[in-house]
Amino acid sequence: MEAVFFYLFAAATLLCGFLVIANPFSRNPVTSAMFLVLTIVSLAGLFVLLHAFFLAAVQVLVYAGAVMVLFLFVIMLLDLQAEERRSFKKLALAGGGLAVVVIALLAHAAVRESPLGTAAPPMVEGSPRALGKLLFTEYLLPFEILSVLLLVAMVGVILLSRKEAK
Amino acid sequence: MAWFNQLDPTTQFVLLSAAKVVPVAMILLGLVAYTVLAERKICAAMQDRIGPNRAGPFGIWQPISDAVKAFFKEDFTPDHVRKVYFWLAPAIVMIPALLTIAVIPFGSQLGQQKMVIADLNVGVLYTFGIVSLGVYGIVLAGYAANSKYPFMGGIRASAQMISYEIAMGMSVIPVFLIVGDLNLSRVVGSQAGTVAWLPVLPNWTVFQSPMLALSFAIFLVAAFAETNRLPFDLPEAEQELAGGYNIEYSSIKFALFFMGEYANMIAASAMMVTLFFGGWTLPLFGLDAPATTLFGGLLHIGIFVGKVLVMLVIFIWVRWMWPRFRYDQLMDLGWKRMLPVALANIVVTAAWLWLRA
């Protein structure tokens, strides 16, 4: 049962991820954004199969529910026609191909070093309570640094979007 | 039940889940139909009219005739729309409302079965995750229509729903600080009995402390914004946008948007009843402990549905009493008033818990 769901979600993640960047039927950025949403939701499904319920819920809540809605908001307000007409650059295509080959080689090397086991997948996280305890004790410093990073980004956005007072 | 016990656990689980999902979905859709009728009747009463009264006594067959009419109307697809999204958007509007119900405990027990479809440990996070997907239906509808007014409705919807989702999410944190659990069944369980400071009131979250009452107030306002109901119905403001995101839709596709709004109202009501009004509990006749008999279990479901109906009447009542907000007022209220108040509420609750500990 779990194996069926794993292959289902994994296939959905890969297929939707591919359609985000290279959709043969449509070059519309909104379509790409919607496939990215589907990719994120399928990833959340994979998290659920690892019993990482908190991570799955937050993945959907933050990425699919907030970040992608803002993406969509911006894409819709931009000029879509220009993006649809844009042609591929040969150098960029070659660079992308090279990146794919390198990542495939790395993955191959990793799997050869430590072969995939046959054991059941590990339970990635426990209760939300245990996760919260870890975040606020052992990983407090990285957690706080991340919040400061987000604050910096927020201040930067406000500064950039502020109209010059004359 | 011998044949049932012979099945393997996975099949048992699937069968039991189906036995819960199907009646819940049926009741939800029936409730949607009759909330529409209630809306028309209450509106009529408030405006000193009679309301629909032709189909059956007091117009109780009106939802059926409305549905038949919606199906038989011409399903017109304008030439300029983006076809795929035009078809998808009405379906996407309905789905989140149906999915939200999955984690809400709508009763205590029937026999051995807990009356909740998925008893998740992160129940409320799941709900907020699904609710945050609700905006896609409306945004895509606005985009699919490929014309000005629907597009503006879609843009308004996305800005409004993102803004109020934050205030909504922040407003419930004090509840979970005090209850100490994200599981909605346990949130309901913690509301049994009567409240400490006045033993005639039930021990519902909203009565437990002023911070939690404030939580409820913020949640209620945010729920109106999330369901696009007056006073926050800017995405479909008829006078400004000629109907908003759903102008280009007709027939059953329009009806799906319409039903989606009511399904969302029911989901929001069920959420408020669970979080703030004790779910299926009632502090009378020992009704706040899980039921042991079949009758008790059914009574608990009845209590839950009754509380949801009261919340729905409030939704409808407010719609016909209040004028619409202006767009800048809406944003001001969300970001400059409710969000700081909700944040302060979290700090005050945490400090109070810390002092008490």
pLDDT in tens, B150-177: 888 888 888 888 888 888 888 988 988 8
Residue A25 has pLDDT above 60, yes or no: yes
pLDDT at A80: 66
Residue B122 in domain: yes
pLDDT at B1: 63
Which structure tokens are listed for B218?
């913020």
pLDDT at A120: 64
Residue B174 in domain: yes
Report the domain count for chain A. Answer: 2
More confident residue, B67 or B200: B67
Q: Are B182 and A128 in contact (CB < 8 Å)?
A: yes
ipTM of the complex: 0.80
| A63 lies in the same domain as A92 | no
CA proximity to B71, closest of B253, B248, B259? B253
> Which residues of chain A have a CB within 8 Å of the CB of B122?
53-54, 57, 128
- Read off the amino acid at residue B270: A
Domain boundary among A59, A79, A99: A79
> Which residues of chain A have a CB within 8 Å of the CB of B85?
30
pLDDT at B163: 84
pLDDT in tens, A37-75: 999 999 998 888 888 888 888 888 888 888 888 888 888
pLDDT at B88: 85
Which structure tokens are listed for B118?
């998925």
| A54 lies in the same domain as A110 | no
Residue B80 has pLDDT above 70, yes or no: yes
Residue B9 in domain: no
Residues B257, B263, B268, B271, Cα dihedral to 10° = -150
Domain that holds residue A126: 87-166
Q: Measured between alpha carbons, how far is B287 from A79 in angstroms, rounded to an integer? A: 60
CATH number, residue A44: 1.20.120.1200
| A93 lies in the same domain as A134 | yes
pLDDT at B302: 87
Query: Quick one: pLDDT band at residue A32, thresholds 50, 70, 90?
Result: confident
Residue B102 has pLDDT above 60, yes or no: yes
pLDDT at A83: 64
Query: What is the rounded average pLDDT of the residues A92-101?
Result: 89
Residues B164, B167, B170, B174, Cα dihedral to 10° = -120
Domain that holds residue B238: 73-356
Q: Which are the contacts of B32, defined by CB distance < 8 A and separation ≥ 6?
A: B259, B262, B263, B266
- The mean pLDDT value of chain B amounts to 84
Residue A166 has pLDDT above 70, yes or no: no
Query: What is the rounded average pLDDT of the residues B274-292?
Result: 78
CA distance B85 to chain A (A): 9
Residue B68 in domain: no
| A100 lies in the same domain as A133 | yes
pLDDT at A147: 92
Residue A79 has pLDDT above 70, yes or no: no
pLDDT at A52: 81
| A100 lies in the same domain as A38 | no
- Read off the amino acid at residue B162: I
Report the domain count for chain B. Answer: 1
CA distance A88 to chain B (A): 25
| A93 lies in the same domain as A61 | no
CB distance B224 to B340 below 8 Å: no
Q: Are B122 and A77 in contact (CB < 8 Å)?
A: no
- The mean pLDDT value of chain A amounts to 83
> Which residues of chain B have a CB within 8 Å of the CB of A44?
129
Residue in B121, B130, B133 nearest the CB of A128: B121
B112: three-class secondary structure by DSSP:
coil
Domain boundary among A38, A63, A79: A79
Mark out the alpha helices in chain B (DSSP H runs).
2-6, 9-46, 62-72, 83-100, 123-133, 135-145, 148-171, 173-179, 184-189, 205-208, 210-226, 238-241, 251-276, 294-321, 327-331, 339-356
Q: Measured between alpha carbons, how far is B99 from B91 in angstroms, rounded to an integer? A: 13
Least confident of A139-148, B86-95, B102-111, B284-293: B284-293
| A61 lies in the same domain as A109 | no
Query: What is the rounded average pLDDT of the residues B69-79?
Result: 83
pLDDT at A119: 65
Residue B224 in domain: yes
Domain boundary among A52, A79, A106: A79
| A74 lies in the same domain as A93 | no
Residue B121 in domain: yes
